[in-house]
A and B are shown apart, each in its own frame.
Chain A
């Protein structure tokens, strides 16, 4: 309520008409908003450049397309967008791996990206479901149950947070290959179906639910699982969404583990890597940008759907 921008006491403005003071206040915010807008533009430039380039025809889409271009703002803004008309085919060409030089034509179903997408989606959803089940149960136990060794086990959880995941890749590769899971999507799912971050977050939300609700549920004959499903989870939707999106992101964006554990079932990131390092063909930058856009699209769409509660969940995770 109280404005923190002005260093003068507000008492003087209180006597003036309400409208003037509110316009004043708004005017005082204009430079701030301008500054934020510029910062925002800088932050989002890579995305604008990416989408603009992905729609350009081959001739325009080269990294040094700016050669010989005069340096003024009008020309620059023109360069964010294709001059010779939008070329949407880039997306279908990128999806089907239809390079100018390769000469191979794929249909939709045998297109490389379809395979990458299916693999990535299966791995990501498998991970999310696993993480949600294990973390909800563990978080409930740590939030509401009293048991021997609770503190020690909780400290153990904290300690596992500091283990770099790289340190576990090599041993896990040996474990996974001995279980016969190499080149199997299960190798991308099983090791990551527990998340300490999700346990902490859900525990925090569960603890903030009044104890009376739990007791009332018990009186009505609701068991622990019933309470979790009917009361605790719906009340902690922000935490559930945050955990889910974080696990999804972790799985979808991971590179090193899929690369070593399961190169036979390439995920989207590995597919993009194959795409970039397509050594025998001249890199077609518009197709590469279209491929990159396709690779980040599912996450961005999911993010925009749940963004408010997701950010709320992340914000809560930082406060103690």
Chain B
């Protein structure tokens, strides 16, 4: 009896519950669907604008880049006889001017991002120590950021005025030109031509600018190897610091191979470096600095020795990856300039250095404000606890502040890299000449200005201008920026502390 009664009761119960559940689910689904339509209405205005004017244009730019010699597009599709396939990309990759702009852009972005972030971090740490007047300083430091670069470019141009408009004229002490030369000569430093000087800054500092504007030798394989070594050293250090070992077996094999490949190059590089120091840096100050740097590197390696011995395969495999990347970059950097080697060793040109300085001045306030917010967000109790544990000074900064600040730093790194890679206004404003022709010096030309000159600089009469060629440049820029952002995320994202 009980079983008979129980059974149907159970089944009906469960039947009812499943039916109810299904109904409930359906009702929930319908409700969500109805709500969704409402939400779509809310996001529609923003998304329509974003899709039409920011997202679809990328595909359209790619489409345009398949045509050559077009400057005005009536309708949406250019005339079919101008279709050229990937011709524009081929022209692009074979163009020395383009590669020059590409490497200038990388140098510019590296300068603005690295120096800018370090300066901002220093200033934010200072500001974090004051309570009274902090808002005042913050507001004042931010001021350059709100002003237009075209307007402030004019005043910077005045302050950077050269002592003479011709390169051959000798500087006279009573004709300094702008404010900076006036101050420089006041301190007994040599006056400079600033924005007009295309010689590398290291060349100017260590070699008195003797190497000339652009050294015009044939490809110097010795120099190529030297550059390669420098690149692999830098990349090797970066990757070795950011190393992330997960698969020991693979790392061991890679590490062995990497050592075999990398050691001869490193040995050659060290030998060449010594030779080059003697030849290139023949001033006592320059060789002193280089020797101190080398000693510092040796000391750092010595400190790291236990960790290297414990995990040599990880270090070595990372180093072999670095050799690969460094070799590709260095060889590209030399060959792409069409045999015109002006050398990474001589550094960015003085005029590029001035541009970088102005750009940093302009963006510093933004970085300071965001870093300061990140710093104040770190709770004081954590600092107290660390201090009780005996952390002090640099250890406190390196082991407490930097990890806790890493999400903010990472955010700024990505944001400022993206904006530095596409900067246009400053260079455009500084190098405006009379009329419509804007001549941009060889060592200043970056991707955005090169793109502007190619796409809008006038006409579509050759293979290296017009809308098609310009679109090819921006598609390249887009892919480059996206992949750089992804690499940054892969390389650093793991090390960012989000807790």
Contact = CB atoms under 8 A, between A and B. Distances in A.
A290 to B, nearest CB: 11
Interface of A: 1-2, 4-5, 7, 29, 32-33, 35-36, 39-40, 43-47, 49-50, 53, 63-64, 66-69, 71, 76, 130, 133-135, 137-138, 140-142, 145-150, 153, 156-157, 160-172, 174-175, 177-178, 190-194, 196, 199, 224, 245, 249, 252-253, 255-256, 259-260, 268-269, 272-273, 276-280, 285, 288-289, 292-293, 295-296, 299-300, 303-304, 307-308, 311, 314-320
A46 B155 contact: yes
Sorted from nearest, which 3 A-B pairs have the closest CB atoms?
A279-B434, A315-B373, A318-B370
A292 B151 contact: yes
Given A5-B129, A166-B474, A191-B53, A68 B156 contact: no
Given A171-B57, A273-B432, A296 B47 contact: no
Contacts, number: 318
A163 to B, nearest CB: 6
Interface stretch (B84-92, B138-146, B200-208, B252-260): B138-146
Interface centre among A4, A49, A160, A318 (most CB of B within 10 A): A318
Given A167-B61, A174-B60, A175-B57, A300 B478 contact: no
B233 interface: no
Contacts of A177: 73
Interface centre among A178, A256, A303 (most CB of B within 10 A): A256
For chain B, the bracket of interface size reads: 35 or more
B146 to A, nearest CB: 5
B372 interface: yes
Nearest to B127: A36
Given A33-B130, A311-B138, A318-B408, A163 B158 contact: no
Nearest to A197: B415
A64 B178 contact: yes
16 contacts: A4-B380, A7-B392, A64-B161, A66-B177, A66-B182, A137-B43, A142-B43, A146-B32, A161-B418, A174-B73, A268-B148, A272-B154, A277-B432, A292-B152, A295-B150, A311-B142
Contacts of B133: 33
A253 to B, nearest CB: 4
A171 B155 CA distance: 34
Contact of A162 (B40, B418, B433): B418
B60 A164 contact: no
Interface string B360-384: 0100101001111110010010011
Contacts of A7: 392-393
Given A135-B46, A142-B43, A318-B411, A296 B147 contact: yes
Contacts of B147: 253, 296, 299-300
Given A194-B49, A256-B425, A319-B373, 19 more contacts: A43-B140, A49-B155, A64-B177, A138-B46, A145-B38, A147-B35, A147-B39, A149-B36, A167-B475, A171-B58, A192-B53, A193-B49, A194-B45, A255-B424, A256-B448, A276-B429, A289-B154, A307-B142, A318-B371
